[in-house]
Amino acid sequence: MNLLNSQREAFHARLIILEGAGSSSAIERLKVEYDVAVASDPSHRGMVASINGLENSDPQFWRYAVGGSKIPKPSSEIVPVKGEQVIWWYGDNPDPPSLTQ
């Protein structure tokens, strides 16, 4: 795939790959490197509302997976083990992106 620089930047703004530290939650780890806003309304409490200004919109929003699996819990409750891959992605695809070539 050959992307223009602007397309590449837009794509990368929608995909974040981190490594677990074993001592902090998935969202705490995210907040170390990114500007994160979290929903405060009771029905979505703890849900990531935006990362670096890219806000959730219907049907596209931020999702996350740990070790390649989606987790049906708030990211504040999940503590990835040291070195475990945490992927955040934005869009309408409910499945984590495949990172293999």
The tens digit of pLDDT for each residue in 22-66 reads 999 999 999 999 999 998 888 877 889 999 999 999 889 999 999
- In whole angstroms, how far apart are CA 87 and each of 41, 70, 82? 24, 9, 14
Alpha helices in the chain (DSSP H): 5-12, 26-33
What tokens were used for 7?
């397309």
Q: Which of 52, 62, 66, 49 is nearest to 90 (CA)?
A: 62
Average pLDDT over every residue of 77-84: 95
CA 14/CA 37 separation, integer angstroms: 15
pTM above 0.75, yes or no: yes
CA 56/CA 48 separation, integer angstroms: 8
The answer to whether residues 86 and 64 touch, using CB atoms and an 8 Å cutoff, is yes
